Each structure stands twice: as C-alpha cells, then as structure tokens.
Amino acid sequence: MHVAIPLYPRFTALDAVGPYTVLAYAPGVTVTFVAAEPGPVTDDRGTLTLTATAGYADLPRPDAIVVPGGAGTFDALDDQALVDWIRTAHEGAEWTTSVCTGSLLLGAAGLLKGLKATTHWAVLDHLATYGAEPVRERTVVEGRIVTAAGVSAGIDMALTLLARTADEETARAVQLVIEYDPRPPFEMDLAMADRALALLA
C-alpha cells in the first residue's frame, strides 16, 4: 500500500508524523510526503521542517491519502492545486483520511457531503459548511473516508486504518511497538477553550 501525506505551509507536525509513524512500521506500506513541489515544508510552530520527496504530479493515484491539519489549513483551502489533488487522488484511492482540520480540506474537495465527519473541537461546526454532519468522536469511518479529531487522534485513525487494510493483529503489533497506551494526566476540559486557543495564536 502506498500512502501519500500532503504537506502545506503551517501544517501541524503530529497530524502528519503520528500517522506516518504508525503506517511506516507496517509491513508492505510505503509512505511518501508530497507537496506542490518536492522540498522542505515548515510546520505551524515555524520550527520543524519536513521534506516532501514528491510533487502532486509524481503521485497522482496513491492507495491511501492522509491529509493533516494545522494553523495553515484555512489558507490551504484556497490552494487549488492541493484541493484538486485531493479530489483526483480520492477517485482512485482505497482510503482517504484526514487528521484535525485536514477534514476541512476533504470538505473543500467535495468529499464529505452527506457524511458524518469529525475534526478539532475548535472548528467542528465548520464541517457543516461542506454538507457534512459534524460529530464529536475520536475517529469516524464513513465508507472509504476516515476523519480523525484533533492532532493526537491521527494515531488512533492510522491504527484504525491499518486494522482495516491489513488486519487487527498487525495494528495491535504496531500499537505495541510504538507503546501507544494513552493515559493523559488531565481530563479534557472544554471550559479552558479560550486559554487553549490562545496557545495557537
């Protein structure tokens, strides 16, 4: 299985690297970072750069797509080359997935109409703009489209995808390899939303 992860300016690193780590450990899976042109792309903290080793034209028909989110997503919604690539790649892909606000890019490509979908809690209502039904769940599977909630949920999404593309035993083995056993020290508290959003400014 060949998985493509498109990068764009100010993506969130874990949105891309979390699924990459899960899928890259799986036998028979190749993961390629793509962008409009091969080269470095910097994340939304401005301190981490990943290298896209292929352009969109180099990988028009991957087996699976993982679209990350990030602070740059709203600018990326106007990136016609990216949105067109997502739409076209989806036509031949077995799976089209997103992490966090990456689901808005799926929506912009016209892929979420009439489907349940999720994204980061701060922008969940935006999904309705694209004809989707927003749901507050960690991972949502609708046919061959899988959306994940914010940032760290990309790991859950990738394990879910791996269980479906390979088998549950493989997914469990990768989960053990990366020692993914989340036990956050604090409960999620949406009452702190304003303070949390200030961190993104």
Catalytic residues: 100
Q: Map residue 171 onto helix, strand or coil.
A: helix
Distances (CA, A) of 199 to 2, 94, 175, 192: 35, 36, 29, 11
- Joined together, the tokens standing for residue 26 give 């799986």
**Edge-first strand listing for the sheet containing 64-67:** 54-55, 30-35, 2-6, 64-67, 95-99, 145-148, 139-142
Across-strand partners of 55? 35
Task: Sort 26 into a burial class: Cβ within 10 Å, 0-12 / 13-18 / 19+.
Answer: buried
Who contacts 118 (Cβ-Cβ below 8 Å, separation ≥6)? 103, 124, 127, 134, 135, 136, 137, 138, 139, 140, 147, 148, 149, 153
- Joined together, the tokens standing for residue 61 give 């028909």
- Joined together, the tokens standing for residue 25 give 């450990």
